[in-house]
Structure 1
Amino acid sequence: MSAGVTNHARTQFADTRVDSLALLGLREPRGTSDWGPVRAAQLNAAGQLALFAVAANAVAAALVVLLFSRAVPLLQLYGWGALVATVATAVALRRLSVRKHTTETATLDRIRDTWLDGAALAAVWAIPPLAFGLSADTGAILGLTVVVSLLMTASAMAMAALPLATILFLSVVGGAMAFLFFSTASLTLAATSLVFTLLLATACFERGKALVTLRANEIALAERDETVSLLLREFEDADADWLWEIDAQRRVVRASPRFARSIGVDPTTVNGRSFLEILAGPTWEKGNFAAGLRDLSKKLNARESFRDLLLPVYVEDQERWWEMTASPRFDDSGSFIGFRGVGSDVTEARESADKINRMARYDTLTGLPNRLLINETLAGAMAEAEKWGTRCAFMMIDLDRFKAVNDTLGHPIGDRLLSRVSQRLSQLMTENEMIGRLGGDEFAVVVRDARDTAAIDRLARQIIDALSAPYEVDQHTLYIGASVGIAIGPRDGRTAEMLIRSADLALYRSKDAGGGVFHAYEPQLHVEAEERRVLEIALRSALKNDQFHLQYQPVVEAGSGALKGFEALLRWTHPEYGNIPPSKFVPLAEDARLIAPIGEWVLRTACHEAARWNDSTRIAVNVSPEQLHNPNFFNLVTQTLAQSGLHPDRLELEVTESVFMHEGTCAVQVLDKLIDLGIRLSLDDFGTGYSSLGYLSRTRFSTIKIDRSFVQGASKNEREAVAIIRAVVALAQSLGMGTTAEGVETEEEHQMIQQLGCTKVQGYYFGRPLPVGEARALAQRHGRDSAAA
């Protein structure tokens, strides 16, 4: 605050360039300077010489009366003299009155109005040369010239503080004298009078400018002195900083009372004692000095200046933190005589800084180190491993099924669950590991010494087991899991950033494997990540470049083998990379948020193709959760049906259970509106995800599709697979739904599916995915066969 005040005062006045028009009072000064005090100084200076001006005018008027007493009637002379006295007195009284009311500041109008004073005095003093001088002799004119010149000179010097009034007075009176000389044919004297008037006016203006500048500097100095005084008072009152001085033997000399109070000793006994001993306090005898005190001792021994040296001291058995600054002192002969410096108690500031530092490096929810501290710790571990030729490790942990908890039970429950997770992780850590939270449901472990790779694997398994155990949170029993990715440094990355990237790729592999497992980084993972990056770039332009096409796989009735419809399957053929399987590009499209435009293209293309088939053949189209969470999806479907001419009953939309994992979305409402329109709905991959009978009760499905993994398991006489298929079939029959078995490839599987009660089948046994031409021909042939029957 104080520094700002000082700078403001300095720039406001001392560095201000005098504005000529502002000096005359004709306008406000340019810039932001406050000229109120300067204008008040002008008026006060003029007021101080008001009586002198009256006296000067009176003496000059008396001399003029004596000069013209023989040439001009006395009545006129006395009348003019009285007028001069009256005007001069009025002007003086006016200036004294203004001075009284403008001791601190004055307005622009006050300065501007002074022209009236100059005009009044100029008018009365123009009378002698214009009225008296024209009929006078040479001696009287010469005397008048001397008197008026002296009066003008005195006015220019004495009344320069108000240059507008003074210059106006000089100009009128000087012009009147020039006119007198011109009228008497004294052209040289007329010109001389004009030059003299100009010189006086210039001198008056420059003197007025000098007076204003001087006064402005005085005001600036006064404000600065006031600011310094304020600072000194604040310094004395703050009781935070103190001066100290030691001699060449590092003994305290001339100790200030504040220094003694700060260290907690008697001011009368502190002089002569060892400075370091006083600062060390109870650690002096033990020799267990703080690092800051050792640094101070080195600086004192080397006789070096130092600044902001931080060290702990003990005052009344409490640790305080001091900041020390000092310079060495030398006498006139150059001999070292000690140090002089200043100290500050920065304990509160340090505690505040420590608190801010903790907030910046620790997660507020779990209390664990956050991403910043994790990165710093990993960088330190990497440096140690590089220095000693050892290994460190970095483990990334991602919670499985945590998002489902957040979506179904809300974020408060999710936050409490994260706190429980952090507690379990903390219990697994030793001094060799540090656990932290990266953000969301991601955690990380920094292993400082990772030479024992088997121990790293055991820790990863312990983490998965510990986090997979059930949690009791607000009367809810919650089940989640964890996936872990491991990277070893410096083998898997020479920098902290590279090691984190490697652990992230290993975690990605664990998530792809279904979660609940851990994987260590392999170079192949980087190759796969680069492949995903290249594919994503290509995928972003695939739709625009017409690289997608559809194939259609037949869906037949289980008993008769009659064609019931087709499922539209998306295929991507890249001109450089060839045929790219859906298992690669569909998850990539979902991650890159490209599935919506691609899904729209699939829906439109499939509906327009199906409209060309016979009226009994349906088309099934897979719909992603992202599409259903968009309220405009219903409008897209209705628009597509209207444009293609396909009847709603012939369109079947296949959705997965993941659609229902997001509470509060519009997916269920969109599905209900589509069913009301007459569109059929199929639940795909039932039993492979978060299976729940609640999903079936929320929406009126027409078909449940049994995943091919159960079909293949049942064909191998796996009891669990057979039991699941029977249970799904029974459930579907009780709810009035059909069942479609996927992945039927042999006659034996077909017979088995029939016996288990499935109503429709789909697989290579009945037909591989067909190009559009073959699918169209098959549909037309089925239509002719149906018509013939």
Structure 2
Amino acid sequence: MTEQTSQFADPKIDTRALLGLYDPKDQAGWSAIRAAQLNDAGQRALFMFAANVIGASIIVMIFAPLLPLQHLFAWAALVAAVSAAVTFHRLAIRRHTRTDATIRRVRDTWLEGAGLAAVWSVAPLAFGQVADIHAALALWIVLSVLMTAYAYAMASLPLATIIFLIVTGGSFSTTLLINGSPTLAATTILFTLLLSIICYGRGKALVLIRASELSLSERNETVSMLLREFEDANADWLWETDAQRRILRASPRFANSIGVDPTAINGKPFLEILAGSAWESGNFPQGLRVFSDHLKRRESFRELLLPVYVDGEERWWEMTASPRFDEQGSFTGFRGVGSDVTEARASADKINRMARYDALTGLPNRMLINETLRRAVMEADRWNRRCAFMMIDLDRFKAVNDTLGHPVGDRLLSRVSKRLKELMSDNEMIGRLGGDEFAVVIRDASDTEAVEALARQIIETLSRPYEVDQHTLYIGASVGIAIGPRDGRTGETLVRSADLALYRSKDQGGGVFHAYAPDLHVVAEERRVLEIALREALDKDQLHLTYQPVVNTIDGALTGFEALLRWTHPEYGAISPAKFVPMAEEARLIAPIGEWVLRNACHEAARWDGSVRVAVNVSAEQLHSPNFVTMVTQTLAQSGLAPERLELEVTESVFMREGTGAVQVLDKLLNLGVRLSLDDFGTGYSSLGYLSRTRFSSIKVDRSFVQSASRNVPEAVAIIRAVVALADSLGMTTTAEGVETEDEYQMVQHLGCSRIQGYYFGRPLPVEEARALIAGHMTNKSAVA
């Protein structure tokens, strides 16, 4: 192999290339040299900015007694603005040209030099006419120091610096000639020329230093490639071509990698050897085409991946090479190094798959879904068509996880993913976002009815029963749909739109799909604003309690009150509990709000007659807190309320989370003497098991059963009778909710309910009215006595 000679071995540097006026394309390395010039200038940009500002400030002080200050300040501001623009530009270029730079980057710096020279020329031409001998001398000194600083600090960009020196020095010489000082003008011109020569020499020295570094780097690379030739049998191998891209002196290791005799391939076109059977057809892989283009353009390249077939097996090679030139600068071919990276690529493909596919279901994960969605959006924009994005959330899946455990939940997710894959065509891609959320990317969604039909099919398919570990499981699905570009022109926007549509489906109970509509953004924004306001409601004293009477069924005597939370916002007015309570649960605010309700209700009830109880609703989130019992104990102690006068109302949902200790918490509350009431019995996942495990004091019959029974619905009547019989057998009382008419009162009285709560006996009352009702109740008791 002939030794490659560096274009920088000769210390002669082309002046045009140094100034950025000529690009020696046949000499590699100038791109790196230009980057070094720009980086050196960028390193000193702040220093020169300071020099400009300080110099302008000194001149303002010198000429302040001689010229109007507004003129001087305007000029100084112009100097600062131009120098700042130049500084920021050079710093920005430095960030983008760390290793290579185009000739245009260097050539365009003459504009910076000319701009700075223009603003500094104003000083001698405009101010010099009114300067006395002392001011003129001071002006000359400032400009001389500034020019010297430029010649030293900005020598890496000689074109811009020399233009600045010549224009600035020329303007001062002109001023001296006008003022009748030809000798001083000649001296200034000589000084300017000397600085320009020094600047050029320093700039050339910097280029030579960088050229030497590049030459040394080339030699080190050649030595490295030669050393690789003698490493173990699996190491890299060298290759070399002539100017016609034919193989020269093929090394044994290279020939062994391609599976041929070394003597048989010398002189053959390199591309023919690499292409193999594809050489005749011309159907080359893309990587081989890129490789061929580099060879044609005589460009260096690094770590280029090529598919190569050896004995019918696809292998992957990684190629690095540089063009070679002789002492006259003529192109003589390429020299490079190659290695077989098939195993490494297989490992990388495996890692890439792991990064883009869900380990549990084997479906594409969030990363691959987002990548596919972005491509679908771009394709839809290019071909003026529509794409779609679906978000799928499983209904009632959490109950499976909570009751049967995560292993069963994971196996259920695998069954769900299998069903979803069977529904997909080549036009759709299904993936798992995480948890029980899935997503579908539809590349061509021109047929909206087909998209909606797919959504219905997904809901129907996922709602069929599953057999997992001898359990028959029933879940469902809710779907949100967004169509692009109608509902968003980016992948992120479509995801957000589909999420809002999914939220609407979940909000309506699940098992349905919704397409995005613009009003969903309004609803989401309203919800966001309300959530922020709710976080501040406690601190701003916007929450208050009302108290709804609970009476004895037989004689209508007052037995207690249920404390009901209300929120009145100063701007939005009264906000329904049906709206803000679920929001508080989702935002994890229900625990501090529930604690506030309990403390206020207990302190208020402590002021009532000792026979009147207070009932407080407790969320599942509170009962699953390990500190809840302590908080109840402290509240009772601080308020002085007897434990038996406090009744905590819980719903059946607290029993759906196994292993969270809710039953143990209820037992501890019962041991304190607190009464427990089971609210909304029969409306959820009713089970007699937890009625036997927990000693409830009462069961509340939901108002939906009361209203249905008042209309003589047989099922509702039967349910109320069954609940009353069950409560009586377990020693519990029953409270009928939502009694609003005389007929309903007579009906629940006839069915045997112990207590009644509803508008018929009283709406939720402010605290003052509740106190008055208690006082009247006490008066009636005294009168009866």
Deviation at 1:291, TM superposition (A): 0.9
Contact 2:614 2:647 in 1 (8 A): yes
Question: Structure 2 matches for 1:769-788, cutoff 5 A?
Answer: 769-788=764-783
* Superposed CA offset, 1:492-538 (max 9, x none): 22221121111111222222212222222222221121112111211
Which residue identity lines up with residue 745 of structure 1 in the other structure? Answer: E
Determine whether 1:587 maps to 2:598: no
2:676 paired residue among 681, 689, 701: 681
Distance 1:569-1:393 versus aligned 2 partners, 3 A rule: same
Number of paired residues?
Answer: 564
Q: Which residue of the partner structure matches residue 452 of structure 1?
A: 447
Contact 2:225 2:337 in 1 (8 A): no
Q: CA deviation at 1:330?
A: 4.2
In the alignment, what sits opposite 2:300?
305
The 2-side partners of 1:419 and 1:736 are apart by 46
Q: List runs of 5+ in structure 2 lacking aligned partners.
A: 1-219
Q: Which residue of 1 aligns with 2:534?
A: 539
Distance in 1 between the 2:683 and 2:733 partners?
Answer: 18
> How is 1:288-367 mapped onto 2 (pairs within 5 angstroms)?
288-332=283-327, 334-367=329-362
Question: What per-residue deviation string (whole Å, max 9, x for no partner) do you get for residues 436-475 of structure 1?
Answer: 1111111111111112222222212222222222222222
Deviations 1:378-421 (A, max 9, x none): 11111111222221111111122222222222222221111111
Whole-Å separation in 2 of the counterparts to 1:505 and 1:325: 51
Aligned pair partner of 2:655 in 657, 660, 670:
660
Structure 2 residue 433 is the aligned partner of structure 1 residue 438 = yes
Q: Which runs of 4+ in 1 moved over 6 A?
A: 228-231
Question: For residues 610 and 324 of structure 1, do their structure 2 counterparts lie closer, same or farther at Cα, with a shift above 3 Å needed?
Answer: same
1:262 positional shift: 0.6
Asked if structure 2 preserves the Cα contact closer than 8 Å seen for 1:487 and 1:499, the reply is yes
> How far is 1:776 from its partner?
0.9
Rate the CA distance shift 1:782–1:234 in 2: closer, same or farther, 3 A: farther
Counterparts of residues 405-416 of structure 1 (less than 5 Å): 405-416=400-411
| Residue 460 to residue 312, structure 1, CA distance change in 2 (3 Å) | same
Instruction: State which of 723, 731, 745 in structure 2 corresponds to 1:728.
Output: 723
1:420 aligned to which of 408, 415, 424: 415
Matches of residues 673-712 of structure 1 in structure 2 within 5 Å?
673-712=668-707
| Secondary structure class of the residue paired with 1:570 | strand
Aligned to 2:543: 548
Q: Which amino acid aligns with 2:277?
A: P
The match for 1:510 among 488, 497, 505 is 505
SS, match of residue 430 in structure 1: coil
2: CA distance, partners of 1:435 / 1:733: 54
Q: What is the deviation of 1:785?
A: 1.6
In structure 2, C-alpha distance between the alignment counterparts of 1:304 and 1:637, rounded to whole Å: 78
Q: In the aligned structure 2, how far is the partner of 1:566 from the partner of 1:235? A: 92
Among residues 463, 474, 486, which one is paired with 1:468 in the alignment? Answer: 463
Return the letter of the residue paired with 1:420: R
Between 256-265 and 537-546, report the one with greater CA deviation.
Answer: 537-546
Tell me which structure has the larger Cα radius of gyration. 1
Give, as a single letter, the amino acid of the residue that structure 1 aligns with 2:564: L
Displacement, 1:553?
0.8
Match for 1:383 among 378, 384, 387?
378
* Distance across 1 between alignment mates of 2:388 and 2:704: 37
Q: Matched residue of 1:236: which SS?
A: coil
Match of 2:213 in 1: none
Per-residue Cα deviation, 1:596-651 (whole angstroms, up to 9, x for no partner): 12111111111121122222221110011111112222222222222222222221
In 2: Cα distance, 1:295 partner to 1:615 partner: 91
Q: Distance in 1 between matches of 2:278 and 2:722?
A: 78
Counterparts in 2 of 1:768 and 1:273: CA distance versus 1, 3 Å: same
Partner amino acid for 2:317?
W
Equivalent-residue separation in structure 1 for 2:227 and 2:332 (angstroms) = 28
- 1:278 equivalent to 2:273? Answer yes
| Alpha-carbon offset, residue 302 of structure 1 | 3.1
Question: Is the Cα contact below 8 Å between 2:229 and 2:236 reproduced in 1?
Answer: no
Answer yes or no: is the 8 Å Cα contact 1:616–1:783 preserved in 2.
no
Q: What is the CA RMSD across the aligned residues, in angstroms? A: 2.2
Give the Cα–Cα distance (whole angstroms) in 2 for the partners of residues 718 and 401 of structure 1: 29
Does the residue aligned with 1:612 lie in a helix, a strand or coil?
coil
Point out the more displaced range, 757-766 or 724-733. Answer: 724-733
Identity percentage of aligned residues:
79
Question: Which of 424, 430, 441 pairs up with 1:429?
Answer: 424
What does residue range 107-146 of structure 1 map to in structure 2 within 5 Å?
A: none
Deviations 1:363-388 (A, max 9, x none): 11111111111111111111111222
Secondary structure of the corresponding residue to residue 394 of structure 2 = strand
- In structure 2, the CA distance between the partners of 1:403 and 1:550, relative to structure 1 (3 Å rule), is same
CA shift in 2, pair 1:533/1:692, >3 Å: same
Match of 1:650 in 2: 645
- Which AA in structure 1 matches 2:571? E
The structure-2 alpha-carbon separation of the partners of 1:344 and 1:704, relative to structure 1 and needing over 3 Å to count, comes to same
The answer for unaligned runs of 5 or more in structure 1 is 1-224
Equivalent residue, structure 2, for 1:743: 738
Distance 2:541 2:746 in 1: 41
Kept after mapping to 1: 8 A contact 2:226/2:238: no
| Aligned residue number for residue 478 of structure 1 | 473
Separation of aligned partners in 2, 1:695 and 1:232: 78
Compute the displacement of 1:279 (Å). Answer: 0.9
Q: Distance in 1 between matches of 2:728 and 2:359?
A: 52
Partner of 2:633: 638
Contact 2:229–2:235 at 8 Å: present in 1 too?
no
Residue 661 of structure 1 aligns to which amino acid in structure 2? M
How far apart in 2 are the matches of 1:239 and 1:643? 80
1:268 is paired with a residue whose SS is helix
**Aligned residues of 1:481 and 1:516 also touching (Cα < 8 A):** yes
Distance 1:772 1:241, change over 3 A: same
- Do 1:368 and 1:422's aligned partners in 2 also have CA atoms closer than 8 Å? yes
Scaled by the length of structure 1, the TM-score of the pair is 0.69
Q: In terms of mean alpha carbon deviation, does 641-650 or 696-705 score higher?
A: 641-650
User: What code does the residue aligned with 2:688 have?
Assistant: L
